Amino acid sequence: MTPPDWERRLYLAAHPFAYPLLRAAARRGPIVRVPGVGVVVNDASLARGILMDGETFRKDGPGSPGELWTPVLGPSVLLNMEGDAHRALRRRLTELFVPSYTEALCARVLDEPLDRLAGRLSGGGVDLVDAARVMAGAVIGEVIGLDARTDASYRDLFEQGERVVSSVSLRTRRLSPPQVRKARAVLDPLGDIAAKAYAAGDESTVMGRMRALGLSEDEARGAAGAFFLTGTETVATLLPRLFALLIDHGQLARVAAEPSLLDRAVEEAMRVATPTPVMLRSVHRPAAVGGVAVRPGERVLIATHNCCRALGPFDLDRPHPPELRRLWFGAGPHFCIGYPLAMAEIRRVARTLLAAAPLVVTRRAAARGVLIPTYRELVVRKGAA
Ligand code: HEM
């Protein structure tokens, strides 16, 4: 029996009008021009080609997606940069999130909250949405150098990020002055915390490492803001969706028994969920993509979700073809710099939950009015279905 498609419900609850249009665009072909939206790409090979060509398809300059965040994060925060300056900053940051460091970081901050989570799992029902927010808040708090180490402070940090991200919709091209003020009211104090950790220069901290890697204080502050915005909700929303998919498809016990399957399960859940459902570029010089001519100034919307869903529903046994490989983390010069951190975090939390298997979902509801589709609550408890 095919399980109910909760992923589709989550998307519809988050984007009741845009989601059907996005999926309809996929049925029109690999690349289609949609008035008011731009050139929509639904095919993984074409998407990858565009992402790899950072000269033609860019994230900086007038009308580009980078413009959205420049007024709040500053001009040099990777996601709004291109060319030599982008390459130079990325080169300095490559050392930052090497797997050995991200694993140690996650162990340092997650082991305590995970112990508490394991205890609650044996006691009764646990809302994985709330648990994932606490974990994501804990990790990002450590990245920017927050001192407080309680579930309440992690939850609060998560909610601050949510307030900024919720001011953006799929249609937002620019933040209004009040939106910029609201975002800065959240990000400036966090930037101050990050700057303090930078000044302290302790190389066991992320901000201290940025200083040792030669970043200026402004660059480090901007990077902290960018990590906070891009690396909190993405991870927190994926975790409950991963577990719902495993439980709904009857695969939880299998992954719990075979730890080597965990990475495959995480990547397959990412493929189906695509926490970043679209990626934007602006065309900087004339080009042809899949037989469609694109002109300078046009907007390209890579429908990552469509590219990924073309392979079909969640299936742990279906390999990912090369063009799809980790497309949910991007490709080329802007490939997610937080990938090792996201994976370390997800693996660590997942192992605690898998150790409590079998788990059943006792209550769930989809979140409405959010940018990244997710559950409003997903309560699980120990036990078989
Ligand atoms: C499930 C988790 C995550 C997903 C699905 C994800 C997805 C992505 C995607 C698709 C991009 C490329 C966007 C584009 O090319 O337009 C990206 C870039 C980026 N991500 Fe992630 N991300 C995740 C977690 C994180 C984490 C934990 C951090 C940092 C703490 C992070 C920091 C960044 C940054 C700074 C960029 C911009 C890189 C650049 O422009 O050079 N992400 N991410």
Average pLDDT over residues 110-122: 93
Residue of higher predicted confidence among 80 and 64: 80
Pocket lining: 161 vs ligand 1, CB cutoff 6 Å: no
| 6 Cα: distance to centroid of ligand 1 (angstroms) | 24
Pocket lining: 141 vs ligand 1, CB cutoff 6 Å: no
DSSP collapsed to 3 states, the chain: CCCCCHHHHHHHHHCCCHHHHHHHHHHCCCEEEECCCEEEECCHHHHHHHHHCCCCEECCCCCCCHHHHHHHHCCCCCCCCCHHHHHHHHHHHCCCCCHHHHHHHHHHHHHHHHHHHHHHHHHCCEEHHHHHHHHHHHHHHHHHCCCCCCHHHHHHHHHHHHHHHCCCCCCCCCCCHHHHHHHHHHHHHHHHHHHHHHHHCCCCCHHHHHHHCCCCHHHHHHHHHHHHHHCCHHHHHHHHHHHHHHHHCCCHHHHHHCHHHHHHHHHHHHHHHCCCCCEEEEECCCEEECCEEECCCCEEEECHHHHHHCCCCCCCCCCCCHHHCCHHHCCHHHCCCCHHHHHHHHHHHHHHHHHCCCEEEEEEEECCCCCCCCEEEEEEEECCC
- Given this model, what pLDDT does residue 243 score? 98
Q: Which of 170, 215, 230 to mutate to test the pocket of ligand 1 (most atoms within 8 A of CB)?
A: 230
Pocket lining: 301 vs ligand 1, CB cutoff 6 Å: no
State yes or no: pLDDT of 247 exceeds 80.
yes
Report the nearest atom of ligand 1 relative to the CA of 238.
1
| 179 Cα: distance to centroid of ligand 1 (angstroms) | 22
**Per-domain residue ranges for the chain?**
6-29+36-382
| 56 Cα: distance to centroid of ligand 1 (angstroms) | 21
| 142 Cα: distance to centroid of ligand 1 (angstroms) | 18
**What are the pLDDT digits (tens) for 155-175?**
999 999 988 888 777 777 788
- Given this model, what pLDDT does residue 60 score? 85
State yes or no: pLDDT of 124 exceeds 90.
no
Residue nearest atom 1 in ligand 1 by C-alpha distance: 235
**What are the pLDDT digits (tens) for 46-74?**
999 999 999 999 998 766 767 888 888 88
Residue of higher predicted confidence among 30 and 67: 30
**What are the pLDDT digits (tens) for 196-243?**
999 999 998 999 999 999 999 999 999 999 999 999 999 999 999 999
- Given this model, what pLDDT does residue 62 score? 66
State yes or no: pLDDT of 266 exceeds 80.
yes
CATH annotation of 6-29+36-382: 1.10.630.10
Pocket lining: 379 vs ligand 1, CB cutoff 6 Å: no
| 153 Cα: distance to centroid of ligand 1 (angstroms) | 24
What the block records as the tokens of 8 is 């589709």
Pocket lining: 230 vs ligand 1, CB cutoff 6 Å: yes
- Given this model, what pLDDT does residue 3 score? 82
State yes or no: pLDDT of 380 exceeds 90.
yes
Pocket lining: 240 vs ligand 1, CB cutoff 6 Å: no
Pocket lining: 329 vs ligand 1, CB cutoff 6 Å: yes
Q: Which of 157, 268, 329 to mutate to test the pocket of ligand 1 (most atoms within 8 A of CB)?
A: 329
What percentage of the chain carries pLDDT values higher than 70?
98
Q: How confident is the model at residue 364 (pLDDT cuts 50, 70, 90)?
A: very high
Pocket lining: 277 vs ligand 1, CB cutoff 6 Å: no
Average pLDDT over residues 72-85: 89
